[in-house]
Amino acid sequence: MTQKLSTQSSAASSHRNPGEELKRQFSWQVASNLFISFKYAWNGVSYAFQTQRNFRIQVVIGLLALSLALYLHLSAIEMVILFLTIGAVLTMELINTALESVVDLTVKQTYHELARIAKDCAAGAVVISAIVSILVGSVLLLPPLLVLVQAGG
């Protein structure tokens, strides 16, 4: 059984670069230390930032909201709520990206109704978190912003 599996694996990967194959061969193993775990996690965030337009947009909007919150001197509790809300949106986008990648890997270039449902639900989770973040941001940022505008700057 093991020999058969390794033969299939070798045959399927014969078109790859040998260095790439060596990296991929042990990709299922647990990271050897905490530093390596954080490196892999950062690779995921970096991948999302480089390849996912929506992730980049959400990062920019989050930074703008945090900048406005600092300018308006929001309280520590309000800042924490804002951080958690922005973090939730970015986390949902990362989970959505991971799920889409796994689904694409599984179904390859074929259509499957369950794959569509999985991808749509993951995208829906991102949309819900984004809508909630807009509501939270509005509740936290609009009142002090309106006071500032009414006071004349």
Task: List pLDDT tens digits, range 6-19.
Answer: 433 444 444 445 55
Domains of the chain: 1-30 (no CATH), 43-150 (1.10.287.3610)
The whole-angstrom separation of Cα 49 and Cα 94 is 10
What pLDDT, on the 0 to 100 scale, is given for residue 23? 57
Catalytic residues: 93
Query: pLDDT-based confidence at 22, cuts 50/70/90?
Result: low
The model carries a pTM of: 0.78
CA dihedral 74, 76, 82, 85 (to 10 degrees): -160
Token pair of 20 as six digits = 């790439």
Task: List pLDDT tens digits, range 94-141.
Answer: 999 999 999 999 999 899 999 999 999 999 999 999 999 999 999 999
Report which of residues 136 and 153 the model is more confident about: 136
Residue pair 117/95 in contact (Cβ under 8 Å)? The answer is no
Residue pair 100/109 in contact (Cβ under 8 Å)? The answer is no
- Which amino acid appears at position 19 of this protein? G
Residue pair 147/75 in contact (Cβ under 8 Å)? The answer is no
Task: List pLDDT tens digits, range 55-102.
Answer: 999 999 999 999 999 999 999 999 999 999 999 999 999 999 999 999
